[in-house]
Amino acid sequence: MTAQRPLTVSSAPAGLAGRIRVPGDKSISHRALMFAALAEGRTHISGLLEGEDVLRTAEAMRALGAKVVQKDGRWIVDGCGVNGLQEPADVLDMGNSGTAARLLSGVLATHPFMSIMTGDASLRGRPMGRVSVPLSKTGARFVTRAGHKLPMAVEGTGKGKPLHYCLPVASAQVKSAILLAGLNCEGETVVEEPAPTRDHTENMLRHFGTEVKVEELPEAGRRITLKGPARLVAQDVLVPGDPSSAAFPVVAALLVPGSEIVVEAVGQNPLRTGLFKTLKEMGASLELRDERTEGGEVIGDLHVRAGRLKAVDVPAVRVPSMIDEYPVLAVACAFAEGTSRLRGLAELRVKESDRLASTVALLEANGAKVHVEGDDLIIEGQTSLPGGGKVQTHMDHRLAMSATVLGLAAERPVHIDDTAFIETSFPGFVSLMNTLGAGLKP
């Protein structure tokens, strides 16, 4: 059990300033380790996020037979090849990472051995049925606690049936789990998604030499087709800065008067940059410079300057491209001129916490005017927020960071019950913010 780290955040003594680089993209880091373990040969990974979530994935791949070592700032993975993983000797503990647990479910479903996954208290409360139910149609057998919750036993199949699955809700995790299962199935695995979700899995499959067909569907969705069994060949990977992590210093710099910062080498995959698009619609001084391509992913430097924001109406279709950024966007909306409506947030109810309810509580505790209509979040912006509230984070790292951003811009200090779980996705968050002049004192 991680010891709690309460934090009281006061308004920044002066504007935030400086150049920083946020940790590597979490989604790409998980995938880089898994794909490298499934590849034939040696993969070198640079820029890997070394937060607890990703380290759990590294340990899981070791337990499944891959050789994974860190050396001279890089990670080296000697893969086993598709269908080459071995039965783990112990339970696979995925910590706080829903991404790792769900993606790995796809890998385990079509390998012919028994495995068991668990996680921390937060992850054990999150639903796994969205992957275990469709994956069981490959021939694998899943045994879970009531409500499809971890711990979960997986009896994999060595001759998996390829799936043709239409996602009921757009989800990159479910899509990826099914594609990963399809690597070890005979025939075509097809996933249809109602709206485009982050496509790091498709990009990385291509990077490791596997053909993936992506077709646009008539009503805005996509069909992804993978032919198995597939062969992955080791390729070096450079992980870009995580746009979900960049969101916090970016919004803080927009809200704290006098701020001007640069966040370097941030991933600009168009299926991940919904927040940046939304902030620009709000009138944010946010400029992308030095755009370039590294390892199949577009990156660039974000130049941010403080200024007044205006309210925004965010369509539900944008949810997949910014699913993790809604709490900090809600903070930005609380300081914006006018009333904002963030639509279609049902997916937030099944994140690390019920993020929709927790975001409302975070804002209300600090004087914001906010309410929920169906799955929409309505926020009445104010020129300033009184702050002074106590925030319950429910072991949710993004809520803790969002509360920190609010505290830097509020009139009175904001008290956060626990910031320990920030390390799962953004190691060194407090010290990095302090290099910009945040003045945080754990």
Is 355 annotated among the ligand-binding residues? yes
Is 130 annotated among the ligand-binding residues? no
Is 259 annotated among the ligand-binding residues? no
Residue type, 217: L
93 flagged as catalytic = no
- What string of H, E and C letters represents the secondary structure of the chain? CCCCCCEEECCCCCCCEEEECCCECHHHHHHHHHHHHHCECEEEEECCCCCHHHHHHHHHHHHCCCEEEEECCEEEEECCCCCCCCCCCCCEECCCCHHHHHHHHHHHHCCCCEEEEECCHHHHCCECHHHHHHHHHHCCEEEEECCCEEEEEEECCCCECCCEEECCCCCHHHHHHHHHHHCCECEEEEEEECCCCCCHHHHHHHHCCCCEEEEECCCCCEEEEEEECCCCECCCEECCECHHHHHHHHHHHHHCCCCEEEEEEEECCCCCCHHHHHHHHCCCEEEEEEEEEECCEEEEEEEEECCCCECCEECHHHHHHCHHHHHHHHHHHHCCECEEEECCCHHHHHCCCCHHHHHHHHHHCCCCEEEEECCEEEEECCCCCCECCEECCCCCHHHHHHHHHHHHHCCECEEECCCHHHHHCCCCHHHHHHHCCCCCCC
Is 324 annotated among the ligand-binding residues? yes
Are 122 and 394 spatial neighbours (Cβ–Cβ below 8 Å)?
yes
Instruction: State the distance between the two ends of the chain, measured CA to CA, in whole angstroms.
Output: 19
Token reading at 149: 């919750």
Are 28 and 239 spatial neighbours (Cβ–Cβ below 8 Å)?
yes
Paired with 371 in beta bridges are 378
Is 351 annotated among the ligand-binding residues? yes
Active-site position among 324, 396, 417, 418: 324
Which residues does the annotation place in the binding site for 3-phosphoshikimate? Answer: 26-27, 31, 171, 173, 324, 351
> Which residues fall in the annotated binding site for phosphoenolpyruvate?
26, 98, 126, 173, 355, 398
Binding residues are: 26-27, 31, 98, 126, 171, 173, 324, 351, 355, 398
- Give the residue numbers marked as catalytic: 324
